Chains A and B, each alone.
Chain A
Amino acid sequence: MNDVIDLLARLGERLHDASTGLTGFVSDLVAEIDEKVDRIPAELNEYGYDPWGYNPAVLKRFILPVAFLYRYYFRCRTRGLENLPEGRVLLIGNHAGQVAFDGLMVMAACILEAEPPRLSRGMGEYWLGTLPFLSILMDRTGSAVGTRQTGVDMLEHGECVMAFPEGVHGMNKLYSDAYKLMEFGLGFMRLGLQTNTPIVPVSIVGSEEQNPGIANLKGIARLLGMPSFPITLTFPWLGPLGMMPLPVRYHIEFGPPILFEGDPEDEDDVIQGKVDEIKAVLQRQLTKGRENRRSVFF
């Protein structure tokens, strides 16, 4: 058994096992996940792994608690999945909320609500690859440490790749900056140009309120070798429990795909111009999403 199944996916496994004896929504959800994950297009070898280490059996266990969060905790309202083109696509989203529930919710949306179900493969921080258990979980559920070559390979293979170009600067921003897009990295645009991949802007409304940041102690972060050390209403005061998000409602919108053309090795200025276009689209989508919601929680 993988360590990762032992520890991180234990909750999922319990639910999975328990569901065999349960009737009602748990077993329905398990059946739904089984059916949908099986339909995700993937090139698996005889041992059930794809070239990047994705394993559907692990994903099924992992996605069950995530699906619970998606349906019953964040009660996600997702729109625009019909905008997801077939084959290679790059999802670009806004990052917030101290812990990357936003990535997980986009992942759940693509599995539970897209037709056919898709695996959105996250491009993670380098730091994540050095973490025990989490590094395995990341691989088995289809994500990877975000390097250019890995992104190119996945897209050329027709995968759906998800990136948050703000990185930790977005995720761990303070509440005073809520819904203000931070500086975007340029890597994703070069990736898109190189592989001729349509970009789908994904706006996520709700994540900013799930765990508002009060401060970010960069000194402590450096000391612990972490990218950031956020202070929130509950973290670190309640320990790991303090990472628990508030039950806000998520509104996720997949915008129409945009195909950029140009030289992937162009000057930063030129690439920046294209990145700004995406950023503007995303900002508009965010503003519209915020205007349309009735309240943060409902």
Chain B
Amino acid sequence: MPKLLITGIAGGLGRLVAKMARSRWEVIGVDRDPWPSAPDGVVVHQFDMRKRRFEDVFRTERPEAVVHLAFVRHFRSDPATRHEINVEGTKHLLEHCAEYGVRQLVVVSSSYVYGALANNARYMNEEHPLNASRTFPEIRDLCEVEGLVGTFLWRYPEIATSILRPVNTLGHSVHNAIGNYMKIQMVPTVMGFNPMMQFMHAEDLAEAVNVALEKKVRGVYNVAGPGAVPLKRALEEIGRPYFSIPDTVAHTLINTLFSLGIYRFPPGAIDFIKYPCTISDKRFRQATGFRARHTLAEIFASVAP
């Protein structure tokens, strides 16, 4: 079987991707954290991707395909470290891919790179500018990553490189910003705003990654789940009580808490619970035939208290 290298394999999504890929690939993983219950045949190298050993894995294992998931997606760590892991980490990974004959690369970015703006088109396609940096500088590094991978995509036409931009991903085993937000006991929301939000199940995203590998797609693709509902309706379905605070109060509060380092929720993230950031996944569906299996009800049940 051909070899598949997964970075960030011990994360919730990494594990799901690995388990699904096992039947078609010999799976190797890299992660700072251990995966004690890794299934048989999955080899996990536990070290920091910024170390030299990372290159050794490429040199010795010679993977045919790479799935890049090792991104810091929360704001608890030092911004410099986050930037280093996300941007420098990707840069090194791309260099190794080019040098050691990787044939296929899938990078999982996020639909957040489009930014949540009041005047966003309701279903943005892949040509939409990445406006996140305008209102949400904390995730500028993801836009930089996209820039690097985009350049790589054109420079190495022989490597099937794809960037996936999935919508809000929920699942029992996945820990991300939106999941954590929706698991707060009393969820704070912004008064007078209730944007349509798209959700997808983590297992569906893992499948989308596998489908991208299988179909050897090349290019940038939005990936979406079964549909959209207003944020507050989603919270009701999940069974989380919420309360609404006026916009100005929310900004002042979050700004203060964030600058004091008490609550690592960047003020720019507020826009994502105010304004729409919904995407069209037409291109991915046409290229791969992918359809999410989990319904909205199943997605909500997966994070219900």
Which residues does A use to contact B, with CB under 8 Å? 2-4, 45-47, 49, 51-53, 126, 129-136, 139, 144-145, 147-150, 153
Contacts and interface: CB of A to CB of B under 8 A. Distances in A.
Q: Which of B119, B191, B196, B244 has the most CB of A within 10 A?
A: B119
Given A2-B232, A52-B122, A147-B120, A133 B192 contact: yes
Nearest to B226: A45
A145 B117 CA distance: 11
* Chain B interface helix/strand/loop/mixed: loop
Interface in B176-234: 190-194, 196, 226-230, 232-233
Given A150-B123, A153-B122, A46 B192 contact: no
A47 B118 contact: no
Contacts of B280: 153
12 contacts: A2-B232, A2-B233, A46-B297, A47-B237, A49-B228, A51-B196, A51-B228, A52-B122, A135-B193, A136-B230, A147-B119, A153-B121
A149 B237 contact: no
Per CB-CB distance, the 4 closest pairs between chain A and chain B, nearest first, are A132-B192, A149-B121, A129-B118, A126-B119
Given A3-B191, A45-B227, A47-B229, 18 more contacts: A2-B232, A3-B232, A3-B244, A4-B192, A51-B196, A52-B122, A53-B228, A129-B119, A132-B190, A132-B191, A135-B192, A135-B193, A136-B194, A136-B230, A139-B194, A139-B230, A144-B122, A153-B121
Contacts of A129: 118-119, 275
A42 to B, nearest CB: 14
Nearest to A127: B118
B124 interface: yes
A52 B280 CA distance: 12
A188 B244 CA distance: 37
Contact of A150 (B121, B190, B297): B121
A89 B174 CA distance: 44
A49 B247 contact: no
A2 B280 CA distance: 26
Contacts of A148: 121
A153 B123 contact: yes
A126 B230 contact: no
A46 B244 CA distance: 25
B255 interface: no
A131 B275 CA distance: 10
A47 B194 contact: no
Contact of B296 (A46, A126, A144): A46
B118 A136 contact: no
Interface string B237-274: 10000001011000000000000000000000000000
B229 A45 contact: yes
Contacts of B232: 2-3
Nearest to A126: B119
Interface in B156-181: none
Q: Which of B226, B230, B244 has the most CB of A within 10 A?
A: B230
